[in-house]
Amino acid sequence: MDRRWNCMRVFERPGPANTDETIEIVKKVASQYRYLVVASITGDCAVRMAERIRDTTIVCVTCPQGMGWEVDHMHSGPFEDIPELQKVRDEWKQRGLSRVPMQVTPENKERLADLNIPIIQGTIPFFGPSFSMRLHLQHVTSLDILAKTLELISTGTLVCLECVLMAVDAGVIPEQERVLAVAGTERGLDTAWVINSCASANLFHPSKGGRFVELLAKPGLSYQPAMAIDYLR
Per-residue pLDDT tens, the chain, 233 aa: give them: 445 567 899 999 999 999 999 999 999 999 999 999 999 999 999 999 999 999 899 999 999 988 899 999 898 888 999 999 999 999 999 999 999 999 999 999 999 999 999 999 988 887 766 666 666 656 677 788 888 889 999 999 999 999 999 999 999 999 999 999 999 999 999 999 999 999 999 999 999 999 999 999 999 988 766 555 544 44
Output the pTM of the full model.
0.90
Integer Cα distance of 167 and 104 in angstroms: 16
CATH topology for 9-219?
Answer: Pyruvate Kinase; Chain: A, domain 1 (3.40.1380)
Q: What does the DSSP 8-state code read for residue 4?
A: P
Which of these, 157, 146, 147, 142, lies nearest to 229 by C-alpha position?
A: 147
Nearest Cα neighbor of 108 from 57, 66, 154, 51 is 51
